[in-house]
Amino acid sequence: MLRVVDNQPLSDFIWKMRIEAPRLVAKARAGQFVIIRVNEAGERVPMSIAGLDRENGLLTIVYQVVGKTSALMTTVPAGGEIADCVGPLGLASHVENWGTACVVGGGIGIAPVYPIAQAYKAAGNRVISIIGARTKSLMFYEQEHRAVADELHVCTDDGTYGEHGFVSDVLKRLLDAGQKIGMVMAIGPVPMMRVVANLTRGYDVPTWVSLNPLMVDGTGMCGGCRVGVAGETKFACVDGPDFDGHKVDFNLLTSRLSAYRSQERASMKRFLDDPHCRLSKAVATFRYPD
């Protein structure tokens, strides 16, 4: 069992949990992920690393309430426990000094690009952070990015906060203005990563994306996380999660991610129908509106 130091909402439906995991934290690097189980009967859930407090041995994960398990996670109190947390898993993000590096975080992807931005900064890069959310109430981690970035751009799809538009719009504006960017790291919803990769291809800017396929073991054994990259099959858990965005088969990724949608919906319904469920119906309807 691992102790949860705190677990609180950062914005609507987005929560931050800090877990005492000193041995894991000592080894982990930006771009890697962990797999947690909330309880011994629970499913294994891959979570990107959203912060590493090496001094206190604390791992930060940021999660969006999108289904039964993430909903269950919101019920773990500060001082409570989760069953286990395996990691660090996957390969760390490639870090070098490109001169100027740009991290692009969309939605929940705002969290994992933060430690990557820290690593880029530590390598001597000038860091541009572009973070975007659908609307103001879903924005978070602005202060964290402000603290590390030399240049921060905040936007919302509906214009309720920051610039009005998508992260890709901001990136395009910077590139069109002649901003020299040595590399882009984009993390967020698949459509966003696809758009960013398609955009930067035209400007010949190397672009990495962090993929989030379904995972089971996280160690290369089950094949559940397979993705297509440059015409080859790769396992995101051991070959990634970062891949060259210009070579990813985003169509395959999209179709595989939706393969179990009806089962996810049924599981959430059973969870909500449980008389002991302490979850707000509003949280559930965020993901499953009907």
Nearer Cβ to ligand FES, position 53 or 217?
Answer: 217
Count of positions on this chain that bind ligand FES (CB under 6 A): 12
Q: Any residues with CB less than 8 A from the CB of 41 and at least 6 apart, and which? A: none
Measured distance CA(239)–CA(92) in Å, rounded: 10
CA–CA separation, 35 and 50 (whole Å): 13
Q: Which amino acid is at 234?
A: K
Binding ligand FES (rule: CB under 6 A), the pick from 13, 15, 235, 250 is: 235
Q: Which of residues 90 and 245 has its CB atom nearest to ligand FES in the complex?
A: 90
Task: Kindly state whether residue 216 participates in binding ligand FES, applying the rule CB under 6 A.
Answer: yes
For position 175 contacting ligand FES by CB under 6 A, the verdict is no
If one asks whether residue 264 binds ligand FES (CB under 6 A), the answer comes out as no
Q: Is 227 in the site for ligand FES (CB under 6 A)?
A: no
Q: Are 60 and 115 in contact (CB under 8 A)?
A: no
Q: d(Cα 215, Cα 230) in Å, to the nearest integer? A: 21
The token pair that represents 134 in the structure block: 């659908």
Whole-number minimum distance, CB 12 to ligand FES, in Å? 30
User: Token pair for residue 47?
Assistant: 């979570």
Of residues 148 and 225, the one with the C-beta less far from ligand FES:
225
Alpha carbons 130 and 54: distance in angstroms, whole number: 26
Query: What's the min distance (Å) between Cβ of 122 and ligand FES?
Result: 29
Told to check if 259 binds ligand FES by CB under 6 A, we report no
223 binds ligand FES (CB under 6 A): yes
Q: How many angstroms separate the first and last alpha carbons of the chain?
A: 36
Contact footprint for ligand FES (CB under 6 A): 215-218, 220-225, 235, 237
